[in-house]
Amino acid sequence: MKMNPALIVNSVVFPIKSEIRKLIGFLLFFRAVLPLLIVFLLVVPVSLHAQTFTIDTNSFYMEETPGFLHEPIPFPDANGSNSPEEECEEDEFSGTEPEGEDGPYVPGDMIFVPHEVLYNNRWDTLYIRTGKSDVANMADSVFLLLNNPAENGFVFPYKGKVISRYGYRGSRFHAGIDIKLEQGDTIYNAFDGKVRIARVMSGYGRMVVIRHNNGLETVYSHLSKILADVNQELKAGDPVGLGGRTGRATTTHLHFETRFRGEHFNPERIIDFENYALRHDTLLITRSFWRSGNSAATASSGNSQEGSRYHTIRSGDTLSKIARQYGTTVDRLCKLNGISSAKVLRIGSRLRVS
């Protein structure tokens, strides 16, 4: 059977013509909408950046939790370390207010502010100190009510023997108080507050950090078991964890720290570790609070750094520059701080100069 050549040609050419017509139609449509697409891209901004990390707030900033101070103090943030041992000076207790007949004395001009304002709305569930405050140069005073009549009273974390105090251990600095305990002993929250961190962290081992309504934060580390969850509200006396020796620890004990705006200070400023009670109902924090040599609690512990001077590292500082500024030598600075001449100076950290 012979096939018609015209039919064969049409069967091949017709589909090609059809596809060509579709392509021409698409090009005409694209040419028509191209100006509109260009205008759209110019008018509507397109973000090329994606958020890669989010700090968990869980509505924390909207809560009405109490803190007390004269004025909120803005401090610039810079990265700081989170080691339980770091270089800084001994502290000075800067004064308290007397107790009245009807309970803790509260000045009449006190301003009630949420403590999230005190911390510049920083709620980091990973690191103890997410920014460094230049507390040594703070301009205003902060008044903290440690014993708030509207809250549960202070509870000592664990009634044990103090085996290591706040201060220097040779060339290293111990940023808290160590209390001897046995494996599994229960450790209690000191003040009403909210759990900010509950995790394993380097030398701290299993650790809990609680931000308190009074403006302080406390650290409980070397735990064998954590009994609190992040963002959990705790009252003073609630269990925080069980004692242990996780992290960098040579014996079972509680490493306990007190901090203000991320900066640690001697817990014996506010707590009597022999009588397991608060020394004062209020605490006034001023610039002199962070200077060395005037703390009675520190001096009584045998770790006083009276007469010592410290320099806060700023941009452009070097050991030789600091040595010239204070009339000393690089070798002397290295010996005072237990560092080498090749030490990288971290902006915001403090260096002992005499």
Beta bridge partners of 351: 311
In this predicted model, which residue has the larger pLDDT, 77 or 84?
A: 84
Element holding 20 (H helix, E strand):
helix 5-43
pLDDT at residue 106 in the model: 42
Q: Give me the mean pLDDT over the 5-11 stretch.
A: 61
Kindly report, residue by residue over 110-130, the tens digit of the pLDDT: 444 445 545 655 788 888 886
pLDDT at residue 69 in the model: 37
Tokens 């600095």 label which residue?
173
pLDDT at residue 58 in the model: 40
Q: Can you give the pTM of this predicted structure?
A: 0.54
Residues carrying CATH 3.10.350.10, the chain: 310-352
Mean pLDDT of the chain: 74
pLDDT at residue 32 in the model: 81
Tokens 């044990």 label which residue?
160
∠ CA 153-175-129, nearest 5°, is 80
Confidence of residue 56 (pLDDT cuts 50, 70, 90): very low
Kindly report, residue by residue over 296-348, the tens digit of the pLDDT: 333 333 333 444 677 888 888 899 888 888 888 888 888 887 788 888 888 87
CATH superfamily of 60-300: Glucose Permease (Domain IIA) (2.70.70.10)
Whether the predicted pLDDT of 202 surpasses 70: yes
Whether the predicted pLDDT of 271 surpasses 60: yes
CATH superfamily of 310-352: LysM domain (3.10.350.10)
Confidence of residue 208 (pLDDT cuts 50, 70, 90): very high
Count other C-beta atoms under 10 Å from residue 71's C-beta: 11
pLDDT at residue 268 in the model: 93
pLDDT at residue 337 in the model: 78
In this predicted model, which residue has the larger pLDDT, 8 or 76?
A: 8
Residues carrying CATH 2.70.70.10, the chain: 60-300
Whether the predicted pLDDT of 198 surpasses 90: yes
pLDDT at residue 163 in the model: 93
Phi/psi of residue 180, nearest 5 degrees: -70, 140
Which residues are CB-neighbours of 44 under 8 A, at least 6 positions away? Answer: none
pLDDT at residue 10 in the model: 62
